[in-house]
Amino acid sequence: MERRTFITATIAASPSRPVFAGKEGVTYEVTRSKDEWRVMLMDLEYQVMREEATERAG
C-alpha cells in the first residue's frame, strides 16, 4: 500500500469530531466537578488535562 493511499483512506474513515468529545447521554465511571479536579491536580496538570493546554517542551 502506498503512503498516499493509506493517508487518504485513514482521513476518509476518521470521524469528523473526536470520539470521546462529551457525548450527550453518556455517563462515565468517574464524574467530578471542575472544582474537584482543581483540588486533585496541580495547576499545570489541570490546564493540560482538563483545559487542553499545551505542555512545555523538555
Residue range(s) defining the domain that contains residue 51 = 30-58
Q: How many domains does the chain have?
A: 1
Buried b (16+ CB within 10 A) or exposed e, 22-53: eeeeeeeeeeeeeeeeeeeeeeeebeeeeeee
Asked whether residue 37 is assigned to any structural domain, the reply reads yes
Supply the pLDDT for residue 23.
Answer: 62
Residue 36 lies in a domain: yes
Q: How far apart are CA 48 and CA 58, in angstroms?
A: 15
Confidence of residue 51 (pLDDT cuts 50, 70, 90): confident
In a domain, 20, yes or no: no
pLDDT tens digit string along 3-45?
A: 888 877 777 776 655 555 556 777 778 788 889 989 989 998 8
Is position 10 within any domain? no
Indicate whether 56 belongs to any domain: yes
